[in-house]
Amino acid sequence: MFSQKQLISLVEERCGLQNLSLDSEFAKIGLDSTAIIDLMIELEVILNIDVLDNRLQLDEMIRLGDVYEYVRGLSGMQSGSAK
C-alpha cells in the first residue's frame, strides 16, 4: 500500500519543496492541472494501477489528501495489484 508519507515525499521531490502535508493545496504549491495529471500517471506506474479512469474528477483534486484518498480507494478496489 502506498503511504501518505510516500505521496508527500514524491510531491516534495517533484516540486523542490519541504514540509508539505495532506492538507497542502496544489494551487498554493504551484501545481496546475497538467502537473496533477503527471503526478497521477507517475502514481499509476509506481502502484501498477489504472488511476486515469471515469471516476477521476480532476476539479475535485485540490489537496494532496484528495489524491491520496482517490488512489487509496483504487488500490483497495484493485487489491493485489499494488507493488
- Domain spans of the chain? 4-77
What element of type H or E holds 67? helix 64-77
Residue written as cell 502502484? 47
pLDDT at position 80 is 41
Choices 3.40.640.10, 3.90.79.10, 1.10.1200.10, 3.40.190.10: CATH for 4-77: 1.10.1200.10
DSSP state of 63: B
Q: What is the mean pLDDT of residues 8-34?
A: 94
- Helix, strand, or coil (residue 28): coil
Confidence of residue 49 (pLDDT cuts 50, 70, 90): confident
In terms of average pLDDT, the best of 1-10, 21-30, 42-51 is 21-30
